[in-house]
Amino acid sequence: MPATPTLTDISGQQSPTATSPAATLLLPTNYLRHLMLLVASRGGNSQRILAISGLNPAELEQPDGLVNVQQFLWLLREARAELNEPALGLYLGSQLTITSHGLLGLAAMSSATLEEALQLSCKYVATRTPLVSLQLDTTGRCARLFMDELYALGDIRALFIEALSVTILAVIDFVVQRQCQPVEMHFAFAPPPYQALYQAFFRCPVLFNQPRHQLVLPKQALQLRSVLADRQMQLQASRQCANEL
């Protein structure tokens, strides 16, 4: 078994405008727009949070807007505190639709099969977030989509992985119109106090303290056809993802 890689710690809680090595890591502002909409819908003061972060609402509306990872993680942490909602990651993930993921979402939804959509997601996930890698393993009896952290996220770790996992399952549901029932969901962290909520979001057994984060799927589900399969659209979107990468 390969050694566990040493993760660069980017979880510091300093000012979101502070200079740090993480400033070179960028994420789309579109995800923050959904985060602020969620905060506002639950009665939180999203404008105050944005003002402290140094961002303004207009920046979040830019289709190609980017934000450094320190600001991104700081806003996640502040939104969780503002709402006093430990399970914010689950709710945020459920707010994201396949179109939230830009060209990668378009490439996935126009893929011929679920396997093709997942392989494209693995290949181009860095166009949406540099914080994790995805790997699809089809060698066993079940298909396994591994979600490996590339950086240490500290106290925001569970929130980020929860949001990622929920939105990946939402993409799968969209591509094959909920014809794929997940087998298991694995998380590498300990069960949180709100673990009872997980069943509502994952619809399958959830295991904690596992070696890796992974979504386990029926192997035959990989051949399910996408209802919006469009070869030309998929090729065009994939090329643009390659350019972004």
Residues 27-64: tens digit of each pLDDT: 999 999 999 999 999 999 999 998 888 888 888 888 88
* Rounded-to-integer distance, Cα 174 and Cα 143, Å: 18
pTM of the prediction?
A: 0.91
Residues 210-224: tens digit of each pLDDT: 999 999 999 999 999
* C-alpha separations of 197 from 12, 89, 219 in Å: 28, 11, 26
Contact 188, 213 (CB under 8 A): yes
Mean pLDDT, range 15-21, rounded to an integer? 49
pLDDT at 18 over 60: no
Residues 184-195: tens digit of each pLDDT: 999 999 999 999
Mean pLDDT, range 158-171, rounded to an integer? 97
Residue 22 is predicted with a pLDDT of: 55
Residue 70 is predicted with a pLDDT of: 87
